[in-house]
């Protein structure tokens, strides 16, 4: 299942390289000198206790906040100071820790609007969306996510788990090369977690829809992370404690003591 990709140096250029990233909030060192890289096609997990800086790291990589120091490179290009729209147009997609679906729109329209935003339509939230040629892609994702039976329901009428699926599907509408997922299983019924994992594996592999997307996934559900990710980074108090394969992370004594133990 987990087939570790070739690591740094030998497998060509990383899709994402983060070097010495730092972000403080007053006296709080939210992210403190974090460095790692993600290879094309890799599923890279980020784990760590609450408040260890995982979401702050994401927000920096997405241009939502400006880091105090450090560098973020996408395919070798310095994007440290790019905003969210610029990053999205360079192929970075995301899902949020909290749901971001439009409850009063249908599932299908949510997907179409997500792609229109990628294309920079200022008016996409103000008018009922037309198809914009995106319907075929929305339909392909609706089938892949097995949500055809609710495609024409208002998203707000779905269960939390189903809304979460819509939220994840929205991130894939812009055909991203790199997707950052912040806790895709949070609040989801345990019976749906395996389905999300299967889906992400399909999207990672499927050249038509996922285009061999690389993922960075924050998640507290250890079974999910260990099964899905090629490599995992452990953050503790804003710093990197370890990076390794699931087997290496499971066997790391320092990680066991600080996070995985008991």
Ligand X SMILES: Nc1ncnc2c1ncn2[C@@H]1O[C@H](COP(=O)(O)OP(=O)(O)OP(=O)(O)O)[C@@H](O)[C@H]1O
Q: Which residues bind Mg ion (CB under 5 A)?
A: 54-55
Query: Of 41 and 63, which CB lies nearer to Mg ion in the complex structure?
Result: 63
43: helix, coil or strand? strand
User: Least CB distance from residue 246 to ligand X, whole Å?
Assistant: 19
Query: Of 23 and 118, which CB lies nearer to ligand X in the complex structure?
Result: 23
Judge whether 39 and 14 are in contact, CB under 8 Å: yes
What the block records as the tokens of 138 is 């929305």
What is the sign, positive or negative, of the torsion defined by CA atoms of 97, 46, 192, 88? positive
Query: Of 131 and 223, which CB lies nearer to ligand X in the complex structure?
Result: 223
Counted residue by residue, the chain has a size of: 262
Query: Of 46 and 151, which CB lies nearer to ligand X in the complex structure?
Result: 46
Judge whether 20 and 71 are in contact, CB under 8 Å: yes
Pairing of strands 28-38, 16-25: antiparallel
User: Least CB distance from residue 21 to ligand X, whole Å?
Assistant: 12
User: Least CB distance from residue 26 to ligand X, whole Å?
Assistant: 7
Which of ligand X, Mg ion, none has residue 28 at its interface (CB below 5 to 8 Å by kind)?
ligand X
Which of ligand X, Mg ion, none has residue 160 at its interface (CB below 5 to 8 Å by kind)?
none
User: Least CB distance from residue 55 to ligand X, whole Å?
Assistant: 3
43 Cβ contact partners less than 8 Å away, ≥ 6 residues apart: 200, 201, 204, 214, 215, 217, 228, 229, 230
Which of Mg ion, ligand X, none has residue 242 at its interface (CB below 5 to 8 Å by kind)?
none
Query: Of 47 and 196, which CB lies nearer to ligand X in the complex structure?
Result: 47
154 Cβ contact partners less than 8 Å away, ≥ 6 residues apart: 103, 104, 105, 106
User: Least CB distance from residue 107 to ligand X, whole Å?
Assistant: 26
CA distance 155 to 166: 8
Q: Is 141 exposed, middle or buried (0-12, 13-18, 19+ CB in 10 A)?
A: buried
Which of Mg ion, ligand X, none has residue 164 at its interface (CB below 5 to 8 Å by kind)?
none
Which of Mg ion, ligand X, none has residue 147 at its interface (CB below 5 to 8 Å by kind)?
none
The binding site for ligand X (CB under 6 A) comprises 25, 28, 30, 48, 50-56, 97
Query: Of 54 and 230, which CB lies nearer to ligand X in the complex structure?
Result: 54
Which of ligand X, Mg ion, none has residue 25 at its interface (CB below 5 to 8 Å by kind)?
ligand X
Per-residue exposure over 71-86, b if at least 16 CB sit within 10 Å of its own CB, e if not: ebbbeeeebbebeeee
User: Least CB distance from residue 109 to Mg ion, whole Å?
Assistant: 28
């Amino acid at each position: 299942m987990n087939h570790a990709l070739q690591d740094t140096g030998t497998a060509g250029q990383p899709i994402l390289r983060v070097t010495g990233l730092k972000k403080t909030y007053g006296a709080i060192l939210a992210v403190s000198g974090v460095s790692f890289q993600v290879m094309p096609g890799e599923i890279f997990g980020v784990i760590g206790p609450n408040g260890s800086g995982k979401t702050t790291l994401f927000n920096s990589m997405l241009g939502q906040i400006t880091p105090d120091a450090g560098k973020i490179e996408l395919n070798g290009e310095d994007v440290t100071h790019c905003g969210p729209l610029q990053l999205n147009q360079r192929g970075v997609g995301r899902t949020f820790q909290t749901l971001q679906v439009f409850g009063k729109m249908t599932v299908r329209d949510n997907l179409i609007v997500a792609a229109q935003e990628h294309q920079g339509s200022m008016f996409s939230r103000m008018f009922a969306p037309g198809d914009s040629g995106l319907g075929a892609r929305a339909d392909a994702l609706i089938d892949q996510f097995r949500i055809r039976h609710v495609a024409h329901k208002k998203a707000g009428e779905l269960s939390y788990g189903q809304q979460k699926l819509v939220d994840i599907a929205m991130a894939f509408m812009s055909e991203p090369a790199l997707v950052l997922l912040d806790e895709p299983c949070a609040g989801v019924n345990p019976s749906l977690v395996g389905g999300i994992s299967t889906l992400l594996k399909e999207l990672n592999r499927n050249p038509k829809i996922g285009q061999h997307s690389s993922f960075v996934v924050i998640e507290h559900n250890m079974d999910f992370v260990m099964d899905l990710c090629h490599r995992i980074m452990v953050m503790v108090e804003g710093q990197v404690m370890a990076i390794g394969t699931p087997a290496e992370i499971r066997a790391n004594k320092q990680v066991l003591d600080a996070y995985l133990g008991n």
